[in-house]
Amino acid sequence: MDMTSFNDHHAEVLALAASVERRLDPAAVAADPAAVSGELVRLFGKFSVHLAIEDKALYPRLARGADPALRSMAVRFQEEMGGLTQRFDSYRKAWPGPLAIARDPARFIAETRAILAQLKARIGREDAELYPLAARAAA
């Protein structure tokens, strides 16, 4: 299985996450919540599509594959990380835009750092464990 497009998505998502993180200065968020809100829209747009492809297509495909180690890992990863979509949806509902961010910049920053850490942890584990195994199984 060619994992190139998934790796490319990860690189794009991580670049957008880094851009959001650079904007998480409390004074900057309080002064211009629209700037970080715009970055989040781009990040979550990209990551939502990526999550949907992984959770609805890639993981199920890998879980039905011939390689038992890959099947097991795909099932385990989906069970461990499958709730990320719901956590992102809850986060987005809590912080729908600049007005919500402006009401509590400190809480917004803390929750944004937490959700970004979860996003980066998922990508890190997939890049280090799942994707290489999928590429080897396909070879």
Distance CA 27, CA 105 (A): 9
Q: Is 90 exceeded by the pLDDT of residue 82?
A: no
Domain count, the chain: 1
Q: How do residues 84-127 score in pLDDT, each as one tens digit?
A: 888 988 999 999 999 999 999 999 999 999 999 999 999 999 99
Cα-based distances in Å from 50 to 6, 22, 83, 94: 8, 22, 14, 22
Per-residue pLDDT at 17: 97
Per-residue pLDDT at 92: 92
Q: How do residues 32-68 score in pLDDT, each as one tens digit?
A: 999 999 999 999 899 888 888 988 899 999 999 899 9
Name the residue range of residue 59's domain: 4-138
Per-residue pLDDT at 80: 84
Instruction: Give the residue-averaged pLDDT of 61-87.
Output: 89
Distance CA 102, CA 27 (A): 11
